[in-house]
Amino acid sequence: MTEIIEVEHRIESAAGQLHAKSWTPHVLNSRQPIILFHDSLGCVALWRDFPWLLAHSLGRRVIAYDRLGFGRSDARTDILKRDFIAAEAERFVPLLCEQLSIGEFIACGHSVGGVMAVETGARFAGRCQAVITIAAQAFVEDKTLQGIRAAQQEFASAEALARLAKYHGDKTDWVLRAWIDTWLAPDFAGWTLDAALETLHCPVLAIHGDRDEYGSLAHPRRIAGARGSLHILPDTGHSPHRERPALVMQAIEDFLA
């Protein structure tokens, strides 16, 4: 079995330090590394073994990082602006690439992280060679808002909040507010990914579960469009990489081959 070397990193930014981690096969091929973007409540640790599986199966270096305010990155107290998705690609991806010596790369993300992967691919057209989205959103849909409202009720319990606090510590309340308040805000209702999709020219793989509780199949269809591949997983919810890891890995392997 190929040895995977795991290394933790601290990324310096004007707003605070970011926690990052890389998985590098001992026998590394010359292909582009993969940058992972986590979901609205996620962090490096919540990817669990997915980065290791990617590195092992693809023979590529994999890098994941906690966005500012999440996981082991520094805290933040500001309210997210409507352009926070595009701002992530503009402000933090260049720092990640510079400090971890990343040239060309593949952007892969889950949920809103998939949206950030698209924004990154659109912004770094010369360097981002492919985009992979997993359960990503392309617009604000009633089903998405219903799912968030249901989750809001769930996190009213101390037990659910404690589970999230295992990963975010004293940043947990901000993490929840950044997700719930941002997506349910009336002025966010008109947000779409269309502008980024129009300028995205690299290959795209849109993976989605047919039972995703946060978005219909209209999202991956819009993301893939005429530019990419659509992969719908049966009997799968919002976390295909955890629910169907073997099928997700096979889809990514076939796409990158």
20-50 pLDDT, tens per residue? 999 999 877 778 999 999 999 999 999 999 9
pLDDT over 70 at 1, yes or no:
no
Instruction: Give percent above pLDDT 90 in the chain.
Output: 95
**Mean pLDDT, rounded, for 96-107:** 97
Q: What is the pLDDT of residue 41?
A: 98
**Mean pLDDT, rounded, for 176-194:** 96
Q: CA 102 to CA 94: how far, in whole Å? A: 9
DSSP lists the bridge partners of residue 6 as: 23
Q: What is the pLDDT of residue 30?
A: 73
Instruction: Give CATH superfamily name and number for 4-139+191-256.
Output: Alpha/Beta hydrolase fold, catalytic domain (3.40.50.1820)
**Mean pLDDT, rounded, for 111-116:** 98
What is the CB neighbour count within 10 angstroms for residue 36?
Answer: 27
Whether residue 39 contacts residue 64, with contact meaning beta carbons closer than 8 Å, is answered with no
Distance of CA 244 to the CA centre of its chain: 17
Pairing between strand 18-25 and 62-65? antiparallel
Could you tell me the pTM of the whole model? 0.97
**The 3-state secondary structure of the chain, one letter per residue:** CCCEEEEEEEECCCCCCEEEEEEEECCCCCCCCEEEECCCCCCCHHHCCHHHHHHHHHCCCEEEECCCCCCCCCCCCCCCCCCHHHHHHHHCHHHHHHHCCCCCEEEEEECHHHHHHHHHHHHCCCCEEEEEEECCCCECCHHHHHHHHHHHHHCCCHHHHHHHHHHHHHHHHHHHHHHHHHHHCHHHCCCECHHHHHHCCCCEEEEEECCCCCCCCHHHHHHHCCCEEEEEECCCCCCHHHHCHHHHHHHHHHHHC
pLDDT over 70 at 103, yes or no:
yes
- List the one residue out of 144, 140, 139, 138 whose CA is nearest residue 224: 138
What pLDDT, in 10s, does the model give residues 36-90?
999 999 999 999 999 999 999 999 999 999 999 999 999 999 989 999 999 999 9
pLDDT over 70 at 130, yes or no:
yes
